[in-house]
Amino acid sequence: MQYEITIEKHWSNKTYNVALNSYESNGWGMSSGRAFDVSYNEAIKEANKQASIYNAPIIKKEGVK
């Protein structure tokens, strides 16, 4: 199983969401929210925590600092 952490803007455009995405070898995947509607600093902190647990890269979506 492969993992990646995504940081994207919340719909309010003022805060951020963090998600853990997991992919199986057959291409199927699932997204699990890890932090919702948090500041940029909190989003980075949570993304780094999840990345170290799952040994996953952090991917910033368009519009993220």
At 13, the amino acid letter reads N
Whole-model pTM: value is 0.88
β-pairing, 2-9 vs 58-60, is parallel
Confidence band of 35 (pLDDT split at 50, 70, 90): very high
Confidence of residue 3 (pLDDT cuts 50, 70, 90): very high
Q: Which helix (H) or strand (E) holds 62?
A: none
What value does the mean pLDDT take over residues 13-40? Answer: 95
| Helix ranges, 1-65 (H) | 40-54
Domain spans of the chain, in order of start: 2-60
